[in-house]
Structure 1
Amino acid sequence: MTDVTDELLQEFKDRLHITHKSEDSHLKSLLSFSYADISDKCGSFPLDTANQGKELVLERSRYAYNDALEYFVGNFLTQINSFALSNLPDEEATNVSQ
């Protein structure tokens, strides 16, 4: 699991319109588990910059928070596959395209 920054937590809370701090620990866990899941599927990536991986982490966390995680992969399969391919190291990307 990765350390979730306060900035990422706040971005997630803003998306969900959460203004209290009582769930911060739970939300950080959701974000951390989501990062682990997406990086397992697509390879590691930075969470501190805007990228498709970060967006997928936020969306997966939203689904988990709303007890709808079983729908995430089906609804975001195209984005997951696209990010996985774009996140390949250069030598692997060359081998895939040949």
Structure 2
Amino acid sequence: MTATLEDVKAHLHIFHSVEDDYLRSLLEQSAIAVEAMTGIDKGSQFDELVLNRVRFAYNDKLDEFEARYQSVLLGASLNNLEGM
């Protein structure tokens, strides 16, 4: 599964469509960023990282994302390298 707008809205508890374009933009940016940081582009770990990066970006705390998820990002990167 790859995270969708509906997943983002459920994760953030958003029930309106006013911010859909903004959330789509955050989702796309987050998917690109997580892939660049880890080398993965699918799977449940990828989706979890993307959704949480969207959450941090939405709450204007993006600068805290990498520090809070550093071990998960590194683990995903290492797992990706082992799979190559």
Give the TM-score of the pair, scaled to structure 1.
Answer: 0.77
The counterpart of 2:27, out of the listed 6, 31, 46, is 31
| CA RMSD of superposed structures (Å) | 1.7
The counterpart of 1:63, out of the listed 33, 56, 61, is 56
The counterpart of 1:15, out of the listed 11, 15, 29, is 11
Higher relative contact order (CA 8 A, sep 6+): 2
2:80 equivalent in structure 1:
87
Alpha-carbon deviations, 1:9-36, whole Å to 9, x = none? 1111011110111111100100110111
Q: What one-letter code is carried by the residue in structure 1 that aligns with 2:18?
A: S
**Identity, % of aligned pairs?**
37
- How far apart in 1 are the matches of 2:60 and 2:33? 16
Aligned residues: 83
Give the TM-score of the pair, scaled to structure 2.
Answer: 0.88
Q: Identify unmatched segments of 5+ residues in structure 1.
A: 92-98
Which entry has the higher C-alpha Rg, 1 or 2?
1
Shift of 1:89: 6.0
- How far apart in 1 are the matches of 2:83 and 2:15? 41
